[in-house]
């Protein structure tokens, strides 16, 4: 099961072109949602103002090499290892979800476009990576959803009392969970059950990518840019924070 392409089996009741068109529609939905979100919150305007303010307040001018070094550090620390989180458990959970989501997404696109039917055999590594991605996503996601959400862990809210901030995690978990269940059900050969679970998978996936305007999916694009800008501000002396203390004040 882990090494067979679940999308190739879909051809029994769904032409490959349908799934390909669906993926293109989801990409368009993410682009529209992100642009809409940016316009609604004026985040682009706010970010430009912040950049100009930081440039005016800078005490040292950074060279191209400095900026390249900051960009590498941003990718290595803030993006690749979720360095912004001070809570270790949240950091691990986020890393699991981040890489799980990337594997899940990229391998889905590869399988749907390059290996849409059994006529073109799928290398075992691709569905395996898809399954690893789904499992990482489920472990990190349910860990976060059940135990680490700050409104539940610190603010005393009930686990299943959902708030607007849960839109992203709930649709993400719904998509990954039903993808995994659909893959299992499909191996049993029960076509009716397969169609139902596949329908739920598509429903949650559509909600996930169609709700970018209201969810926090777009943070995948914004966060690295803001993290880089913060590093530039610190390095150029434009940060409004106090300078680090000279030495230990401990007596």
Partner 1 sequence: MPTFVYMTSCDGCGECVDICPSDIMHIDPHHRRAYNIEPHFCWECYSCVKACPQNAIDVRGYSEFAPLGHSVRVLREEEKFTISWKIKFRDGREKNFVSPIRTTPWGSIKSASDYEAPSQEALNSQELAHEPDGLNIDELPALSRDQLKLGVV
List, as one string, the DSSP characters of 46-76. HHHHHHHHHHHH-SSPPPHHHHHHHHHHIII
Counts for the chain of helices (H) and strands (E), in that order: 9, 0
130 to 159: interface string for partner 1, x by CB under 8 A: -------------------xxx-xxx----
Per the structure block, which two tokens stand in for 136? Answer: 């990482």
d(CA 137, CA 131): 10
Residue pair 12/141 in contact by the 8 Å Cβ criterion: no
Which of the stretches 2-10, 134-142, 162-170, 192-200 binds partner 1 when contact is defined by CB under 8 A? 162-170
Nearer to partner 1, 16 or 83 (CB): 83
CB neighbours of residue 208 within 10 Å: 25
Window 68-87: residues binding partner 1 (CB under 8 A): 84-87
Nearer to partner 1, 188 or 251 (CB): 251
Residue pair 2/125 in contact by the 8 Å Cβ criterion: no
Nearer to partner 1, 61 or 249 (CB): 249
Which of the stretches 2-10, 28-36, 171-179, 234-242 binds partner 1 when contact is defined by CB under 8 A? 234-242
197 to 216: interface string for partner 1, x by CB under 8 A: -------------------x
Per the structure block, which two tokens stand in for 95? Answer: 């890393």
Q: Provide the binding-site residues for partner 1, judged by CB under 8 A.
A: 84-87, 90, 149-151, 153-155, 163-165, 216, 226, 240-251
């Amino acid at each position: 099961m882990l090494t067979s392409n679940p999308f190739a089996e879909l051809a029994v009741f769904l032409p490959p072109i349908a799934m390909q068109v669906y993926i293109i529609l989801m990409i368009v939905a993410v682009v529209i949602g992100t642009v809409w979100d940016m316009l609604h919150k004026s985040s682009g305007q706010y970010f430009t103002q912040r950049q100009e303010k930081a440039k005016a307040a800078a005490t040292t001018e950074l060279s191209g090499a400095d900026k390249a070094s900051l960009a590498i550090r941003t990718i290595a620390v803030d993006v690749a290892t979720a360095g912004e989180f001070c809570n270790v458990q949240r950091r691990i959970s986020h890393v699991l979800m981040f890489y799980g989501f990337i594997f899940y997404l990229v391998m889905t696109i590869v399988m749907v476009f390059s290996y849409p039917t059994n006529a073109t055999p799928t290398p075992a590594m691709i569905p395996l990576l898809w399954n690893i991605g789904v499992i990482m996503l489920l472990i990190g996601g349910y860990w976060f959803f059940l135990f680490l959400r700050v409104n539940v862990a610190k603010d005393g809210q009930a686990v299943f009392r959902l708030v607007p901030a849960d839109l992203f995690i709930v649709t993400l978990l719904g998509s990954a969970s039903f993808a995994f269940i659909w893959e299992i059900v499909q191996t049993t050969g029960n076509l009716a059950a397969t169609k139902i679970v596949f329908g739920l998978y598509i429903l949650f996936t559509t909600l996930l990518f169609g709700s970018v305007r209201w969810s926090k999916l777009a943070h995948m694009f914004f966060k690295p840019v803001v993290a880089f800008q913060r590093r530039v501000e610190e390095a150029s002396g434009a940060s409004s924070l106090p300078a680090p203390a000279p030495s230990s004040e401990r007596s």
